[in-house]
Structure 1
Amino acid sequence: MLLEIDNLSVRYRTRRGVLNAVDDLSLSVARGETLGLVGESGCGKSSLGRAIVGLVDLVGGTVRLDGKDINGLTHRQSLTWRRRMQMVFQDPLSALDPRKTVRRTLTIPLDVHRISTSAERHERVDALLHRVGLAPALAGRLPHELSGGQRQRVNIARALSLDPDVLICDEPVSALDVSLQAQVLNLLADLQRERAITGLFISHDLAAVSYVADRIAVMYLGQIVEILSRDELWHHAAHPYTQLLIDSIPGQGARLPTPSSVELPNPYEPPRGCRFEQRCPRAMPVCRETPPALSELGGGHVVACHLYDDIALRPSSAGKTWPIHEVTETTASRSI
């Protein structure tokens, strides 16, 4: 595995108390693979992405790149490793310095890492702009002179300027309209195929994630509840939360019983058992008391749900168990 995340935790201190945004989370991404990370707003997706690249501090766990623990390095030591991981942020305008032209924005990473001569950097910037579908003539413009789609392409070009091994995209299309979303998603998919970049694509949009990702990790209240392949997502989702996300897509139609609650539990005091128990239409007594562990369902499909462990799979008082979710193909799962 190129990128390995072990027992990672991120904690914020607020006026309301201590918030465990990411709680003892483990993931791995193979070289050349794109892992999609989905979940509702506030589940900790962005905190995880920022922790991986070192923008927020960890309170526990490790991030390893090519087997090397990259946490706790000095600034000089981290330069080489940080160069190999780059991030595309959600808001393309706030991610750019309003006082710097496009050319200067794309040149700064090359200056910091002392890549190429001044003349070569000029050519390199033009090539980057061309690759993300922008004319070199735009290099002299400031961010406010560009459209939203153009700004996000500049952000992608900046992330690619150092030829990273890992590209982390945090909601890269959520601030764009639908037509621009499709263009940017196609660009990211093309870049992944051409450069074999290892990617972590963070989004709340299942359709967007399934378009660019090879595997999908589903996150709820700081923890991973299911990991499955893109093909399994629409037809064999196992966790009730994943099924709820699919059923919430317009036109999909509800296939689960009505959730017992639509409100998120208090993130400052999460339930001691399964964190989805208060909202789960299939909750059992064991869910209230015991946190479920990730269980292997076969083929790399893992799920943290008592419906699939030895105790929970015994016949309930209702005399039945619950099968893996199966849905028909919808417009949500088709290519963008």
Structure 2
Amino acid sequence: MLLEVDNLSVRYTTRRGVLSAVDGLSLQLRRGETLGLVGESGCGKSSLGKAIVRLIEPAEGTVRLDGQDLGALTQRQRLPWRRRMQMVFQDPLSALDPRKTVRRSLTLPLEVHRVGTPAERRERVDALLHQVGLAATLAERMPHELSGGQRQRVNIARALSVNPDVLICDEPVSALDVSLQAQVLNLLSDLQRERGIACLFISHDLAAVGYLADRIAVMYLGQIVEILPREALWRHAAHPYTQLLIDSIPARGARLAAPSSAELPDPYAPPRGCRFQQRCPHAMPLCGEQPPELVPLGGAHAVACHLYGREARAQVSNVSNPAPIASVHDA
């Protein structure tokens, strides 16, 4: 396994108290695989991505790259490992230094990691621009002289400049219009296939994730509630929250009964037991007593929901419209 995240937690201390943005989360990423991470805004997706590349320090848990625990390394020891994990940020303008030309922004990572001679770096920058579909003449421009799509391509080129093994893409197309989103998604797909890079693609857009990812992890209030193959997303999603995300796409139409309360729980004081219970149309007494664990449903599909746990079998007959169980086991 190339990347392993084990029991990772990220906490922020605020005036109101301690906020657990990521709470005991675990996931794995294989070499050459794209794992999509979806969830509503505020569920902790970006915090997870930043903690993986060590832009923020996790409160607990481990991140391993090729078996090496990155948390056990000093800042100096992490430098060669940082080269192997790069990040593409959400806002393409703020991710670039407004005082540096495109060429300078792309050359700087090569200098930090001592890649090539000055002449070789110049050639590499031109090659990178060509690879992401930009003319070499843009290398002398400033970020404000580029369009949004061009800026994001520059950010992708910068992330690829040091030949990483893992690419963390944090909402890379959310700031772009629809036509540019398609271009950037196609670019990422082509680059991932050509270079064999493993990618964690973070987004709230199920359509984008369904297009790009091999597997999809669904995140809710700091925890993974479902992991499933891309081909199972639209027809065989098991967790009520995943189904709610799908039903929120207008073209697909609603399948779930309206939950008794659509209010998000307080992230500073998440409910005991299942964190989705207040919004779930299938909630039962067990959901308020203990948190569900990820249980396998076959193949690469796993879900954290008491509807699929052995403890809940006696209660299922009392749950109104237990559609998820029927939809999965009939698949």
Give the C-alpha shift of residue 317 in structure 1: 2.6
- The one-character-per-residue Cα deviations of 1:244-297 (angstroms, maximum 9, x if unpaired) are 000000111100000111111000000111000000011001001110011010
CA distance in 2, matches of 1:320, 1:267: 28
2:103 is matched with 103
TM-score, normalised with respect to structure 2: 0.97
Aligned to 2:324: 323
Equivalent residue pairs, number: 327
Greater Cα shift, 70-79 or 226-235:
70-79
What pairs up with 1:170-185 in 2 under 5 angstroms? 170-185=170-185
Higher helix share: 2
CA contact (8 A) 2:53 2:85 kept: yes
Residues 171 and 203, structure 2, Cα contact 8 Å, conserved in 1:
yes
Counting only pairs closer than 5 Å after superposition, residues 74-153 of structure 1 correspond to structure 2 as 74-153=74-153
CA distance in 2, matches of 1:270, 1:95: 32
1:84-134 Cα distance to aligned partner (Å, 9 max, x none): 000000000000000000000000000001100000100000000000000
- Distance in 1 of aligned mates of 2:211 and 2:79: 32
SS of residue matched to 1:312:
helix
If the length of structure 1 is used for normalisation, what is the TM-score? 0.95
**Structure 2 counterpart of 1:146, one-letter code:** L
Following TM superposition, by how much is the alpha carbon of 1:298 offset from its aligned partner in structure 2, in angstroms? 0.5
Alignment of 1:169-318 (within 5 A): 169-314=169-314, 315-317=316-318
Whole-angstrom distance in 2 between the partners of 1:163 and 1:3 = 16
Give structure 2 stretches of 5+ with no counterpart. Answer: none
What is the rounded CA distance, in whole Å, between the counterparts of 2:103 and 2:310 in structure 1? Answer: 59
Give matches, 1:19-30, under 5 Å. Answer: 19-30=19-30
Q: What displacement does 1:322 show?
A: 3.2
Per-residue CA distance 1:49-96 (angstroms, 9 max, x = gap)? 000000111110000000100114222210110000000000000000
What secondary structure, in the 3-state scheme, does the structure 2 residue paired with 1:181 have? helix
Hey, what does 1:65 align to over in structure 2? 65
With over 3 angstroms needed to count, the CA separation of the structure-2 counterparts of 1:112 and 1:319, relative to structure 1, is closer
3-state SS of paired residue (1:151): helix
CA contact (8 A) 2:284 2:319 kept: no
Aligned residues of 1:238 and 1:303 also touching (Cα < 8 A): yes
User: Is 1:45 the equivalent of 2:45?
Assistant: yes
Percent identity over paired residues: 77
Describe the shift of the 1:317–1:163 C-alpha distance in structure 2 as closer, same or farther (beyond 3 A): same
Q: Secondary structure at the match of 2:218?
A: strand
Q: Following TM superposition, by how much is the alpha carbon of 1:312 offset from its aligned partner in structure 2, in angstroms?
A: 1.5
Contact 1:238–1:325, Cα closer than 8 Å, also in 2:
no
Q: Aligned partner of 1:199: which letter?
A: C
> Where does residue 333 of structure 1 map in the other structure?
none
Change (3 A) 1:249 1:319: closer
Alignment check: 8 A CA contact 2:308 2:325 kept: no
Q: Are the equivalent residues in 2 in contact too, given 1:236–1:325 (CA < 8 A)?
A: no
Letter in 2 for 1:74: T
CA contact (8 A) 1:235 1:325 kept: no
Aligned partners of 2:156, 2:23: CA distance in 1, in Å?
A: 29
- 2:318, 2:82 → 1: CA distance? 54
Instruction: Report if aligned partners of 1:110, 1:162 keep a CA contact under 8 Å in 2.
Output: yes
- Structure 1: gaps (5+ residues): 328-336
For 1:317, the aligned partner's letter is: N
